[in-house]
């Protein structure tokens, strides 16, 4: 497809507010397009601050969160399930996820997985420490010192159905895929302030941002639980925002393909709910540069 027009939509799973990150991306794109001038890129940003920085540096950017591509047919409210847990946190076992901030929440369910950057032994040690710190909490993945068994989406949906709120406690990451899973399943969210764009699908009715202290997280969970916002309401508010992003995506693709590709005007269509091809940022940049040098 080297000589054929092609459009690449690139999402980022980590915050992209540092100029050096954007300049590195710009360099890789320019090298690639010297060899393949018929190919176009649109960089899909999770925050408006990122859009501004990308455009200031000459990159084609659109405000369209990767969370807008979450599958609302997978994550949805389940009726007739009583709350067993005050809160639910789905995240890797890593210090920057700040699970300790949930220590004072009376009852919480934790779904977790290993970070290859943290390493197996450090992950096991941190998990043991968290379990000692929060003995009333439930760490649901089957695990031992050598492995953590992942739960399937059906199991995760069932845990969310039994939880009153979803937790987002890191200070910086990307849009945090788990945050949109919470909202689509009807869970209101308690979050700490963050960089990366996870807050954009929140609403004052469905999302509460609290200070990054154990007491504030505990009180925020109690407050959101007391609101008792109907799960279908949380989902509906969220989907309205998701559809705004999908609408922008459709308009962008139509313009960038000179009218040749028109995505469906049904913003619940399966084309908007497909998994992406995820790669580490450095690997993506190397791929573009390698394609340039492989001529």
What are the tens digits of pLDDT across the range 26-50? 999 999 999 999 999 999 999 999 9
Say if strands 6-11 and 138-139 run parallel, antiparallel, or are unpaired: unpaired
The answer on 183 and 268 residing in a single domain is: no
219 and 176 both lie in a single domain: yes
Indicate whether 154 and 96 sit together in one domain.
Answer: yes
Residue 221 and residue 255 in one domain: no
Do residues 21 and 91 share a domain?
Answer: no
The answer to whether 157 and 163 have CB atoms below 8 angstroms apart is no
Q: In terms of domains, do 213 and 184 share one?
A: yes
Shared domain check, 193 and 98: yes
Give the range of the structural domain holding residue 184, as residue numbers without chain letter.
87-238
Please count the structural domains in the chain: 2
Expressed in angstroms, the distance from the first to the final Cα of the chain is 14
Among 238, 261, 285, residue at a domain's last position: 238
Q: What is the dihedral of CA 228, 234, 236, 240, to 10 degrees?
A: 140
Q: Which of 179, 240, 249, 235 is nearest to 208 (CA)?
A: 179
**pTM metric for this prediction:** 0.90
Sheet holding 166-168, edge to edge: 138-139, 108-114, 87-93, 166-168, 189-191, 207-209
- The pLDDT tens digits for 46-86 are 999 999 999 999 999 999 999 999 999 999 999 899 999 99
Q: What stretches in the chain show pLDDT beneath 70?
A: 1-2, 275-295
What is the per-residue pLDDT for 289? Answer: 52
Both tokens of 90, joined, read: 């789905």
Q: Is residue 47 part of a domain?
A: yes
The predicted-structure confidence for 148-158, as pLDDT tens digits, reads as follows 999 999 999 99
Q: What is the pLDDT of residue 10?
A: 94
């Amino acid at each position: 497809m080297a000589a054929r027009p092609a459009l690449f939509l690139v999402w980022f799973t980590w915050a992209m507010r540092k100029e050096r990150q954007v300049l590195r991306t710009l360099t890789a794109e320019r090298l690639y397009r010297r060899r393949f001038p018929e190919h176009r890129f649109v960089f899909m940003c999770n925050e408006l601050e990122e859009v501004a920085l990308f455009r200031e540096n000459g990159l084609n950017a659109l405000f369209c969160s990767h969370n807008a591509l979450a599958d609302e047919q997978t994550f949805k409210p389940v009726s007739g399930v009583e709350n067993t847990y005050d809160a639910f946190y789905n995240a890797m076992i890593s210090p920057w996820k700040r699970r300790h901030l949930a220590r004072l929440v009376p009852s919480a369910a934790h779904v977790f997985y290993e970070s290859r950057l943290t390493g197996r032994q450090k992950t096991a040690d941190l998990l043991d420490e968290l379990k000692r710190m929060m003995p009333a909490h439930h760490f649901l993945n089957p695990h031992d010192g050598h492995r953590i068994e992942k739960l399937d989406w059906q199991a995760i949906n069932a845990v969310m159905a039994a939880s009153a709120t979803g937790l987002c406690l890191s200070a910086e990451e990307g849009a945090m895929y788990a945050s949109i899973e919470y909202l689509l399943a009807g869970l209101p969210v308690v979050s700490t302030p963050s960089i990366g764009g996870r807050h954009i699908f929140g609403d004052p009715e469905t999302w509460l941002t609290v200070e990054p202290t154990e007491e504030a997280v505990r009180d925020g969970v109690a407050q959101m639980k007391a609101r008792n916002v109907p799960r279908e309401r949380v989902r509906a508010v969220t989907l309205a925002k998701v559809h705004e992003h999908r609408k922008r995506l459709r308009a962008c693709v139509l313009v960038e393909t000179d009218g040749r590709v028109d995505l469906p005007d049904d913003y619940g269509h399966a084309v908007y709910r497909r998994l992406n091809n995820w790669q580490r940022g450095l690997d993506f940049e190397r791929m573009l540069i390698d394609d340039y040098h492989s001529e």
